């Protein structure tokens, strides 16, 4: 059994697209599209449409916009882990305001929860958040 060491839980929004900008040497900018695998208050895991070099150094900027409600956020970070080909763990280095991040993650949680076939109140009483 694996013990979770993370300080904050990760949320798995469904179908959340990411527009990623990677700063490279000589002020080159690489733009790639991707999808969010999971997100927390300290980092994000994304899958890019095109894998990037494993030895890439530099900062990454991720622009996100939730299609259902239009809430958007920009995250700046550094790549900390490379998982499966094209999947990267990014640690925030310049986080948005805590309120903006909190609102965004709350919307991610709402959209990642399966829709209940029961009554509206069932969704809240069976929710892992409350």
Q: What is the pLDDT of residue 123?
A: 38
What burial letters (b/e) apply to 24-53, b meaning 16+ CB within 10 Å? eeeeeeeebebbbbbbbbebbbbbbeeebe
User: How do residues 74-130 score in pLDDT, each as one tens digit?
Assistant: 989 888 888 788 898 998 887 777 788 888 888 877 766 544 444 333 333 343 433
Q: What is the pLDDT of residue 5?
A: 67
What ranges make up the beta strands (E) of the chain?
17-23, 29-39, 43-48, 59-65, 72-82, 87-94
Length of the chain: 130
Looking at the domain 17-117, which fold is it? Thrombin, subunit H (2.40.10)
- Report residue 84 as tokens: 């499966």
* H or E stretch covering 106: helix 98-112
User: How do residues 33-58 score in pLDDT, each as one tens digit?
Assistant: 999 999 888 899 999 998 776 566 66
Q: What is the pLDDT of residue 18?
A: 93
**What residue segments make up the domains of the chain, in order of their start?**
17-117
| pLDDT at residue 72 tops 70 | yes
User: 27 phi and psi, to 5 degrees?
Assistant: 60, 20
Q: What is the pLDDT of residue 27?
A: 66
């Amino acid at each position: 059994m694996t013990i979770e060491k993370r300080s904050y839980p990760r949320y798995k929004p469904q179908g959340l697209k990411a527009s990623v900008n990677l700063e490279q040497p000589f002020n080159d900018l690489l733009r790639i599209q991707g999808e969010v695998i999971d997100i927390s208050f300290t980092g994000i895991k994304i899958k890019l449409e095109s894998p990037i070099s494993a030895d890439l150094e530099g900062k990454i900027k991720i622009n996100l916009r939730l299609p259902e409600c239009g809430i958007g956020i920009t995250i700046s970070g550094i790549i900390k882990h490379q998982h499966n080909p094209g999947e990267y763990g990014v640690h925030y280095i310049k986080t948005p305001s805590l309120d903006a991040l909190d609102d965004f993650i709350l919307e991610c949680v709402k959209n990642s929860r399966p829709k209940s076939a029961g009554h509206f109140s069932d969704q809240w009483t069976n929710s892992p958040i409350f």
